Amino acid sequence: MSMPSTDDGCGKRPAVAGIIITTMWPSLIAKAKEGGLDAIQTYVFWNLHEPQPGQYDFTGRNDIVSFIKQVQQQGLYVSLRIGPFIEAEWGYGGLPFWLHDVPGIVFRTNNDPFKIENEYQNIERAFHEEGTLYLNWTAQMAVDQNTGEPWMMCKQDDAPDPVINTCNGMRCDETWNGPNSPNKPSIWTENWTSFFQPYGEDVVMRSAQDLAFHTTMFILKLNGSFVNYYMYHGGTNFGRTPASFMITGYYDQAPLDEYGLTRQPKYGHLKDLHAALRMCSQTLLYGNLTIEDLGEYQDAYVYEGNSGECVAFLVNNGSRESIQVVFRNTSYTLPSKSISILPDCKTVFFNTAMVNAQVNTRSYQPIIRFDSPQKWEVFSEPIPQFDQTSLRSDTLPEQMNSTKDTSDYMWYTMR
């Protein structure tokens, strides 16, 4: 689970906003735990923590240590994506703008002034052999830290040993070839619960049924041991923090929406799935697997322990209609594109296509009306006179190099 609206920071905002967000952390973590999650994954945002060279900020909503400790206090683990390039539909991918002024810098390649990455596979080929050298360097750098923790590369099929390669997407059970070494676990770094929304584009909806089916199939087909929902909690990227073309709302269709409210039936259906998987966890981990053919698109994944424990997953990979199958002399109805979980190899406890959680809707109550004059404030910006300016040029200066990303605006006046 990733939580950008709880610890990603949000640019220049009143201090009280940071207080509000940090006080939300315990309830958001508790909702995640109640939903059946074991771990929370989060980024580290370099451009928030070091907005200017040598000027660090780990206060308020930027207090990553406090956030991690609060996750620990509720009995959950943390998966930390350090970046410092994080992608994340975030301004500059998390890189501080002042890096532009570092002499000789070239971003995201084998270049001494800047190294360390995320989702590098997306652009690795563009740098040819330098891209491969860079990939190997980042892996070795991480391992050389001797942290005792496993390292992974998000969306990187050719991650060098012992760094773990992982998958991103909506259907990694179908699109991913699995670990690139037999001693690596199967990790789904980003199981997209919907998709980010650029300006002017429609909302991408992903059903609770589709999420549950492919999550379970990843566990069965690829021995999946870690599935990270991206995002489990959506959020708001305030100020100028979103990347270009991104709206401020981020993954509002997640199980916990942009405001931290449970979005049903997605939240409840995944909670039921997680409960079913917990009932089967010991046998899943230590049992012996056999796969039985139940039909053209139907299979039974059966895990049996040495003491008689038995767990079965009845899979219908057909997409057109429900079908009757016979498993161990008992008939079962499998809806199209669904998996039934039988914790005792007899009774169906959960089916990925059958949603029991009630659908909810969001209601709004106006607090401030725009037709209330007393609510408006006037912002006055000084308009410079030519004789009062300090930056002079014979040509139009480039904005970002002039403002150093402190503003989206710059006055021009000429004589």
Cα-based distances in Å from 141 to 62, 136, 154, 207: 25, 9, 16, 40
Q: What is the DSSP letter of 382?
A: P
Strands (E), 274-337: 288-293, 298-304, 310-316, 323-327, 330-334
Rounded Cα gap, residues 283 and 206, in angstroms: 30
Say which amino acid occupies 244: S
List 89, 119, 124, 258, catalytic entry: 119
* Residue that has been written with the tokens 């930390």 in this structure: 80
Give the ranges where 44-85 is alpha helix by DSSP (H). Answer: 46-49, 64-73
Rounded Cα gap, residues 322 and 357, in angstroms: 21
Cα-based distances in Å from 213 to 73, 298, 321: 31, 14, 15
- For 251, residues 6+ apart whose C-beta sits below 8 A from its C-beta are 193, 194, 195, 196, 230, 231, 233, 234, 235, 258
Tokens of 301: 């994944």
296 in catalytic set: no
List 87, 124, 190, 258, catalytic entry: 190
Rounded Cα gap, residues 147 and 131, in angstroms: 25
The side-by-side arrangement of strands in the sheet containing 288-293 is: 288-293, 298-304, 310-316, 338-342, 350-351
50 in catalytic set: no
By annotation, the residues acting in catalysis are: 119, 190
